[in-house]
Amino acid sequence: MRKILLLIALVSLTYGVMAQKKSQFPFKGGKEHMMNFFKDSLIVSQSIVDRKAYGIVTFKFSVDRSGHVSKMVVFYADDPILIQPVIDAIKRSEKRWVIPGGELYNDYLITFSFSFNPPAAPSADLENAVYDYNINRRPITAANEALLDNGILLPTVVVNYDIPQ
């Protein structure tokens, strides 16, 4: 009886170790390469800088076996002005995605967090601009639930930009 219990425990332990085997990151070069790619290819527009816009944008997009990006959907955005740079950066990521396990396509969720680097001594104009922006922003949110099938949540890309003093 003890041998059977020992065998069951050994098989369970082996299965658990195999289940924790790390899967391949879905971006060529790994997580660091993806973060650097998006930081380098995401262009903060002058209108974002002028409005001192900040917040997050969460996108869902699909990638097929050959790395083509399609079906981009905004799940959440603190401000519509933050969406276009994210779309452009995701489009530039064509052919850099790797679909794990030989699937035909995969869905990814990625969040971009925008913020500006505050000056050492913020002026009253800057404080008023941030206050006005915060009061007047109208987030874009998803109205219904969404099925993700084989969705993978990617790490958040942090985007910091400088504002003129």
CATH number of domain containing 47: 3.30.1150
Report, as ranges of residue numbers, the positions in the chain whose pLDDT lies below 50. 5-6, 17-21
Query: What pTM was estimated for this model as a whole?
Result: 0.77
- Residue 13 belongs to some domain of the structure: no
The total number of residues written for the chain in this structure: 165
Which pLDDT score is estimated for 36? 94
What whole-number distance in Å separates Cα of residue 144 and Cα of residue 44?
30
Domain extent, residue 92, equals 22-162
Which of 64, 65, 62, 82 lies closest to 138 in space, CA to CA?
Answer: 82
- Residue 17 belongs to some domain of the structure: no
Number of domains in the chain: 1
- Residue 143 belongs to some domain of the structure: yes
Which pLDDT score is estimated for 75? 87
- Residue 5 belongs to some domain of the structure: no
Which of 83, 84, 90 lies closest to 67 in space, CA to CA?
Answer: 90
- Residue 12 belongs to some domain of the structure: no
Which pLDDT score is estimated for 55? 93
- Residue 127 belongs to some domain of the structure: yes
- Written as six digits, the tokens of 59 are 């996108």
The answer to whether the Cα torsion of 98, 159, 39, 84 is positive or negative is: positive
Residue 121: count of CB within 10 angstroms of its CB:
7
Which pLDDT score is estimated for 5? 45
What whole-number distance in Å separates Cα of residue 43 and Cα of residue 45?
6
Beta bridge partners of 73: 60
- Residue 15 belongs to some domain of the structure: no
What whole-number distance in Å separates Cα of residue 108 and Cα of residue 156?
12
Which pLDDT score is estimated for 4? 57
> Tokens 């052919």 — which residue?
95
